[in-house]
Amino acid sequence: MTKVMVSINTLSLNSNATILGEIGPILKGHAVSIPPEAHLFPVLRKAEEYGFRLLLDSDCVRPNRVEGIIKDLYETAGYESKTIFPIKFPAGGYSNILGLTVYCYPAVVESAVKTFKECNDLAQKKYGGVTPASALIPNIYGVLFSTQDELPLAEVKTKALERAERIADKIDGFVVSGHEVREIRDKYPFKEIILTAIRDERYPVESDDQVRYVSTKDAVRLAKEFNADYVWIGRPITQAKNKATAAKYFIEAFASIFSYSFFIFPGRGSKHTPFSSSSSTMLSTSSSGSPEWAISSE
């Protein structure tokens, strides 16, 4: 089942309110992602009102900030008795409402992930969470696509595949462009795949820094052929004059062949499982081959 992820990246309460006002009513059963600093609590309320998931994303979340986020959610926002991991929605059933991506030096991120899990365990005990602790371990994704334009596309692809080889046994899935999705799926059939860098002439992107993009038509074909778990779309929707119309356009494009869910995402084991953990972490590698943590503003 392929799900569609769409990204916004703003700390402005007014901007978030405007975007959610336009597309919130069509997000039931889908999701929104914002930076943790972006006036989180009003969005949490909207998540409950409209019934969408919430994913937190930050360019650098240090361990003490992770703990603070959790405490704020439970204490300041008044969620002591409701539990964030997961939370029930008006639509029925439940889904994890909190995810987290981090970007920083490897040692800091490793500590943040460890702290986040420990904080989740603590939150479960202290604040009455109902999700088993084993379900709170982050999903880790290797970010292989690139916005760099100083290298030939073939060389960028080669480097991406080399990085995949180095980190494959440490992650749950890959964030890839359409240029290497075939090789990644063939070599790692049980890893999750997030297909990104999608562009559409109906919704052009200003100051586009993405060099390895594919069209919506090609993305639909590739997602179907190589069983992508998610399709990640950002600026073609968030820069559109009518965001709701743009969101519906992309949803319908992929809904023609898939069941889907819908994310607004700012930006970026051998088991094959749904995106159901309470947090998500993006992992890439540096040119030296050491782990490096990254997000995307696709």
Model pLDDT for residues 234-252, shown as the tens digit of each residue: 788 888 888 888 888 887 8
Residue type, position 144, single letter = L
Classify the C-alpha dihedral 235-238-240-246 as positive or negative: positive
What is the structure's pLDDT at 166?
Answer: 76
What is the structure's pLDDT at 275?
Answer: 30
**What is the residue extent of each domain of the chain?**
3-293
Classify the C-alpha dihedral 7-13-15-18 as positive or negative: positive
Q: Per residue in 253-272, pLDDT tens?
A: 887 655 433 443 333 322 32
What is the structure's pLDDT at 290?
Answer: 29
- Residue 68 CA to residue 36 CA, distance in Å, equals 10
- Residue 84 CA to residue 70 CA, distance in Å, equals 9
State both tokens at 48.
Answer: 């409950």
- Residue 204 CA to residue 148 CA, distance in Å, equals 19
| Cβ-contact 175, 194 below 8 angstroms | yes
Give the three-class secondary structure for 142. strand
What is the structure's pLDDT at 189?
Answer: 92
What is the structure's pLDDT at 187?
Answer: 92
Q: What residues of the chain score a pLDDT lower than 70?
A: 1-14, 16, 27-41, 44, 53-141, 145-156, 256-298
Statement: 3-293 belongs to CATH 3.20.20.70: yes
pTM attached to this predicted model: 0.61
